[in-house]
Amino acid sequence: MRRLLGLAMMLISSMGSPVLSLELAPADISGKVIDQETRQPILGAVVKIRLEGKSLKGATTGQDGTFFLAQVPPGPKRIAVNLIGYESHDEEISLAPGSTLVLAIALLSDPIQLAPVEIIGESPLINQKRTGTASKLRPQTVELIKPVGTQELLELVPGINGYADDGFGNSRLSIGIRGLNPRRSSRVLIMEDGVPIQPAVYIYPNAYYNPPSERIDAMEVIKGSSAIRFGPQTMGGVINYATRRPDGTKGMVNQLTVGSNGYYSAFAELRGLGSRQITSDMQVLYKHGNGFRDNNAFDQINGTTKTQFRLSNKRVLYLKANANFESSNATYTGLTEYSFYANPTFNPKEDDNFKVLRASLDLMYTSKITANLVGNTTAYLNVFDRRWWREDDVFVRASALDTGDFTPVPYFQSGDLVRVGGDASNFGILRTFYVGGIAQDYSLRHSLGGHLAKAEVGVRAHWERFIDDKKIGDAPDVRDGVYYTGTPDDPDDPVKVVGQSHHYETAALALYAKEQIEWGRLTLDPGLRFEVFKQDRVDRLRGSILADKVSAVLLPGLGGNYQFGRFNAFAGVHRGYTPPSSGTLKITSFGQDVGAGGMDLKAEKSWNMEAGVRSWGPKLTLEASAFMLKIEDLVAAGRGTAFKNLGKVDTYGLELALGLATSRLAWILPDVN
């Protein structure tokens, strides 16, 4: 018995001994992740420590490529490093108790994972050499902000003016870049995963659809000479919303957001369905809000299915299907000065309704043909249907709201003027779009005169059909109407066209070539884009008259970058272009030339110039630039005014983006941007 008690006392006392406690002491891991080819640090790589398939610890590399994992249990473990655009790294490590393991990890570039979803997808030091202004909000930033709408993301990019019609949660976003008219984003090219998402980029680029922010993983904006890589809108710039590809991560994500004015959003995502070779993610979203005005509620449902087929180490096929439905009490009826001061939430249009249904299917096939040659094939289809019914407006005196006497008064009168519905009729703007296209691109890393170079060439065939109808209703709440009044072939009841039915069709071919050459500290980036497209229009209410027009344009660009110390100076010039919109073509006889009596408006063109300096460091990021857009044949019109070319217009300004990583000084401090 004494022996047992003595043995127990020895065991208890040994538990506090330094030898045994050291055996249980956790270890630390620090390291740096770099690009195997360029030897430059990699930002945003995800580092995980696993044991028997389960994740124990995780970290993300900073701007200098470093990471640190503290308090890791000792013993054999596996470390995995992943980042889209690079091959996955996985190795076994052994952690001694109380030790600090220092690792150096080099990732090999794997472009088949990256293209064509992202535009700006390389390490920060590679992006330093870009020859024009380019901004990217990375997944970590988007996750931190948790935006209600993409407007919150756009606010972080210099030179952008973005606003929604009815608040952050609305899909009707107007975006202007560098002083250009932001109305319906018609002078900006908007893409999702490298695919244009505007209803019809050539004939009607107005943005009546914007992807919900819950689906967005990162956002990229290009305003410099690199914009000619995309088209046809190259005047303002390019915005690309990048969504996350299935990467095999399994799990369920649920997100609920609530706010003022009855706003709430419910988002759910199921990840990692299938095997490593064929893996799928599914997303569903429901949004609702009452808006900040009376009769301003909206509902939105959005669903996405994404599947990635890893056919081999060199071939990847990616499919994405999306459906979006929105119904909102959107109206064009604004406030008079009297209404604004009397009741800023006033909106009398309880029957106005905006309804959208959009379905899309994207296919992306990437093949690593050789170690230096990568091919990308992108095919896309989408259907977009928009029904907007609005009650006809009248202006009345404020007393009419109490008496019900809606006798119209001239809108230009002053005093207690109120804008309301006439309670007699409405009209429907009914638009349907069918869009399809296929693009083939190649990227080749090579040597030119003993210097590193990268060539890009591509071709895109694009087709779109646009049905632009207008019907007149006989009550504020009807959802059908008439194109004309009267009876055909009856002289006592002559036909009068009150609506419209215009059918547009566009077939386009675009080609581009681009070369990036590095001479030591100097990088040059010349490029050329060629667009040719044929536009047809049939006026179905006026004899089905066919009008057509062929347009062709050559868009050159040149950019340069020179590195001195931790700074890079850059400059560029490129040709900007905006195709004629349906509004322009509708008012002008666009199938005729001037000699035949047609107005034949010219497309907007510009010379875009910029120069600036940038620095990307662990504690400081800086990009400052000056720009000038020399626009020719600017098209402008007010409501009820014929479209016309205004001639030459200059817009110029300064941009500044500054980031301070003050959290590196003390963990409690926030980073400042």
**What is the distance between the alpha carbons of residues 208 and 328, in angstroms, rounded to a whole number?**
13
Residue 532 identity (one-letter amino acid): V
pLDDT at 19: 43
Indicate the length of the chain as a whole number.
673
Whether the Cβ atoms of residue 464 and residue 433 lie closer than 8 Å to each other: yes
The string of DSSP letters for 419-444 reads EEEEEEEEEEEEEEEEEEEEEEEEEE
Q: What is the mean pLDDT of each run of 10 residues along the chain (673 residues)?
A: 48 44 74 83 85 81 86 89 80 88 85 54 60 83 85 88 69 84 83 92 87 90 86 87 86 90 93 90 94 90 95 90 93 88 91 94 93 92 95 87 80 86 90 96 89 92 95 93 90 89 93 92 93 89 82 92 89 88 53 40 85 82 91 65 67 90 79 81
Q: Residues of 230-268 as b/e, b for ≥16 C-beta within 10 angstroms?
A: bbbbbbbbbbbbbbbbbbbeeeeeeeebeeeeebebebe
Collapse the DSSP code of 15 into the 3-class scheme (helix H, G, I; strand E, B; otherwise coil) and give the result: coil
Return the pLDDT at 21: 44
pLDDT for 301 equals 95
For the entire predicted model, the pTM comes to 0.82
Rounded (5°) CA angle 229-233-237: 70
Rounded to an integer, what distance in angstroms lies between the CA atom of residue 59 and that of residue 48? 7
Q: Superfamily for 20-109?
A: Immunoglobulins (2.60.40.10)
Q: What letters, b where the CB count within 10 A reaches 16 and e where it falls short, cover 490-511?
A: eeeeeeeebbbbbbbbbbbebe
The three-point CA angle 639-641-647 to 5° equals 115
- The set of residues, in sequence order, having a beta carbon less than 8 Å from that of 407 and lying 6+ positions away, is 396, 400
- The secondary structure element, H or E, covering residue 658 is strand 649-660
**pLDDT on residue 590:** 45
pLDDT of residue 7: 46
* Topology at the third CATH level for domain 112-242: Ferric Hydroxamate Uptake Protein; Chain A, domain 1 (2.170.130)
Which CATH number does 251-664 carry?
2.40.170.20
How far apart CA 545 and CA 589 sit, in angstroms, is 11
**What single letter denotes the amino acid at residue 479?**
R
Say which residues have a Cβ less than 8 Å from residue 405's Cβ, sequence separation at least 6: 396, 399
Sheet bearing 218-222, strands edge to edge:
134-137, 218-222, 238-242, 189-192, 195-196
d(Cα 308, Cα 272) in Å, to the nearest integer?
A: 10
pLDDT for the residue 585:
56
pLDDT value at residue 376? 93
- CA dist., res. 170 & res. 287, Å (int): 10
DSSP string, 26-71: -EEEEEEEEETTT--B-SS-EEEEEETTEEEEEEE--TTSEEEEEE
Using CA atoms, how far residue 512 sits from 365, 479, 552, in Å, is 19, 45, 14
Q: Facing residues of 629 across strands? A: 608, 651
User: How many other CB atoms are found less than 10 A from the CB of residue 636?
Assistant: 12
Tokens read off for 417: 């003027």
Report DSSP state, residue 354.
E
Place of tokens 């640190």: 68
Q: According to DSSP H, which parts of 71-128 are helical? A: 111-114, 124-127
> Domain ranges in the chain?
20-109, 112-242, 251-664
Q: What is the CA radius of gyration of the chain?
A: 30
pLDDT at 18: 44
